[in-house]
Amino acid sequence: MPELQTKKKVLSLIQPTAVPHIGNYVGALRNWAGMADDYDCVYGVADLHALTIRPEPPALRRQSLEAFAMLLALGLRRGNNVVFLQSHVPEHCQLAWLLNCYTQFGEASRMTQFKDKSTQHADNVNVGLFTYPTLMAADILLYQADYVPIGADQKQHLELCRNVAERFNGLYGQTFVVPEPYIGKIGSRVMSLQEPTKKMSKSDPNPKGAISILDTPAEILKKCRSAVTDSEACVRHADGKDGINNLMTIYAACTGKAFGEIEQEFAGKGYGDFKNAVAEAVVEELRPFQEEYRRLLSDKAYLIQAAAEGADAARRLAAKTVGKAYRKVGLWDGRR
């Protein structure tokens, strides 16, 4: 009989305290549902990670529910995909403690994100902020993920995860899959609407700089109209036209049109017409997602059921890994 071919596994978690922007959406999020054709995917809301900044409890509960609804609205409950909330799966904390004992202090202290966060939150430099990367490693290793989509700011964390997994495997034999960064289709690099030489960011202090995937049509139009451009008043992609290049990138990502087509479409037209068209294209791109998101948020019973089912599925996977790792280090399970 031919050998059964199993799909590789991809894991990705999102923070509940920051709403993704249009760059996140066209560059990654809208492609996640289709990944089920080629991979078994594990998607989660990283609500435990959010605790490092001590969010207001009512706000965190609301944001976690909304983030979970966002994942479902992307159509991720397909095939063998698992969608869950991190805090609903205790194994994340169980494995995180074990991995703390196999992570060297020097490794953790070199994480640049810890240094950055410590500066930003100087009044709350807690141990959780320091051990954040080991919880992230537990998130990944729990599900034996082969691939993890990461941004530039998370490369160090994935490398630490790989080091810890290799160290543990070297000591106790094969226990964890050593994950690789996921390199998918190269998405559009969307820049800030107000500072087009900088990448669009969820944490941009200027609210006009980023288009949230939950912005209303009126908000999207207002942000596009206020986008920084230049004085040439000609829609063309060229060096030195960072603002227009960025708007063309967004328009191309939402319409599928090439830059040459866009230049022809707006030949002889001003920036006002172009900005309006960009806003309309973004609104239409986000419309199906936003409609499904609002529908899901109005159905609390469904969200509760989906969260419970997701947690059950995640725990079935996670418990196997924790049990195996515990046995490897000598913890007694009380049965033999």
Catalytic residues: 117, 199, 202
Please provide the size of the chain in residues: 336
Cβ contacts of residue 234 below 8 Å, gap of 6+? none
Q: Maximum distance among all alpha carbons in the chain?
A: 80
Distance between CA atoms of 299 and 308, rounded to whole angstroms?
15
Cβ contacts of residue 204 below 8 Å, gap of 6+? 192, 194, 210
What secondary structure letter does DSSP report for 114?
Answer: H
SS3 1: coil
44 forms beta bridges with 13, 84
Candidates 182, 187, 183; CA nearest to 10 is 182
Q: To the nearest 10°, the Cα dihedral for 60, 61, 62, 66? A: 90
- Please give the single-letter amino acid code of residue 328: K
Distance between CA atoms of 208 and 193, rounded to whole angstroms?
7
Distance between CA atoms of 308 and 302, rounded to whole angstroms?
10
